[in-house]
């Protein structure tokens, strides 16, 4: 694994990865119904864009509590794996290549970490997106051939990965990977803003540890900036992973072509459908994730340092 020192493979990077994975899982589980609303608005063309909480109540009345929490377990599994890979790679690279803590270098390293994360975990997110929409088309018959083609029933994450591999090949498992690679700029912007704002807050506080409320606020601001700037690509990414329902448009349509098609069909508002729910979910979840991440990382480091001192004394 390597020593506690400065290498890419270190206990420090592992602690950050575990803390990041656990923090993101807790945050997603807390605000999951908001993510359900966002997904349904992005993928159900017939669902009118209304107030987020009105949509939540509407889904609850139509499908019950299961509708709001459909796909929770695979989301948590995918998110933990994704953030573990991302945090481990980002902090490992940061220890090696950004000892000066430069914001621009943070941005570049975050994009590299995001690219590694995409290539490793994209199949999980493809199946995850389909599991979240599973059962929806059985209630409402699809209106186009394309919509019907994505109406599979997967028993779980592993079954989904196997079936997509068997039925659609590598292209199916990595559908949406192009938009996901473009979207590495999202966490890159988020982490650049977060790290820069955190360093500034630390300077203002005289180097003291930041309070949970300050970390929550910094995390919320960072995620808001990143989400608004990249939302249209996120919408296209969801459609690529699940399979869009635009008749006459191939399922393997590229990012720009699909974005222009939506823009022509629905105007600018079509590219931002579900943004309100996404902002509520992702900003609150990201802020809570950073709080949990900082607390978990601090606690684990404290335990490790305590054990280290104990060993030295002995």
Rounded to whole angstroms, how far apart are CA atoms 64 and 292? 30
pLDDT digits (tens, 9 = 90+) for 40-59: 888 887 777 778 889 899 99
User: 251 — phi, psi (to 5°)?
Assistant: -65, -25
Establish if 159 belongs to a structural domain. Answer: yes
pLDDT digits (tens, 9 = 90+) for 83-132: 999 989 988 888 888 777 777 787 788 889 989 998 999 999 889 888 88
Establish if 213 belongs to a structural domain. Answer: yes
Radius of gyration of the chain (CA): 20
pTM of the predicted structure, to 2 decimals: 0.68
Q: Can you give the residue range of the structural domain that contains 92? A: 11-313
Residue with tokens 């377990």, as numbered in its chain: 73
Burial pattern 130-151, b for ≥16 Cβ within 10 A else e, equals bbbbbebbeeeeeeeebbeebb
Establish if 5 belongs to a structural domain. Answer: no
Rounded to whole angstroms, how far apart are CA atoms 226 and 42? 18
Establish if 6 belongs to a structural domain. Answer: no
Establish if 153 belongs to a structural domain. Answer: yes
Establish if 170 belongs to a structural domain. Answer: yes
The CATH number covering residue 37 comes to: 1.50.40.10
């Amino acid at each position: 694994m390597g020593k506690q020192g400065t290498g890419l493979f270190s206990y420090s990077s592992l602690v950050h990865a575990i803390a990041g994975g656990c923090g993101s899982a807790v945050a997603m589980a807390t605000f999951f119904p908001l993510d359900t609303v966002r997904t349904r608005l992005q993928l159900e063309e017939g669902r009118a864009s209304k107030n987020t909480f009105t949509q939540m109540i509407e889904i609850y009345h139509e499908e019950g509590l299961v509708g709001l929490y459909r796909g929770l377990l695979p989301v948590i599994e995918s998110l933990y794996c994704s953030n573990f890979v991302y945090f481990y790679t980002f902090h490992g690279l940061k220890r090696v290549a950004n000892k000066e803590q430069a914001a621009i270098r943070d941005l570049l390293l975050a994009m590299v970490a995001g690219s590694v994360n995409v290539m490793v975990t994209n199949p999980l997110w493809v199946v995850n997106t389909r599991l979240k929409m599973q059962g929806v088309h059985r209630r409402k018959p699809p209106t186009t051939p394309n919509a019907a083609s994505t109406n599979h029933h997967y028993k779980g994450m592993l079954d989904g990965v196997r079936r997509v591999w068997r039925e659609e090949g590598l292209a199916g498992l990595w559908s949406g990977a192009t938009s996901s690679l473009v979207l590495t700029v999202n966490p890159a912007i988020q982490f650049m803003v977060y790290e820069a704002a955190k360093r500034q807050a630390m300077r203002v506080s005289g180097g003291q540890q930041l309070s949970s409320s300050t970390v929550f606020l910094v995390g919320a601001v960072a995620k808001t900036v990143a989400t608004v700037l990249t939302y249209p690509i996120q919408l296209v990414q969801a459609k690529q992973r699940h399979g869009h329902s635009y008749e006459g448009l191939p399922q393997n349509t590229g990012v720009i072509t699909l974005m222009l098609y939506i823009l022509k069909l629905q105007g600018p508002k079509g590219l931002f459908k579900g943004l309100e729910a996404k902002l509520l979910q992702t900003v609150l979840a990201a802020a809570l994730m950073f709080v949990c991440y900082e607390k978990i990382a601090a606690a684990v480091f404290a335990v490790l340092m305590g054990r280290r001192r104990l060993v030295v004394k002995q």
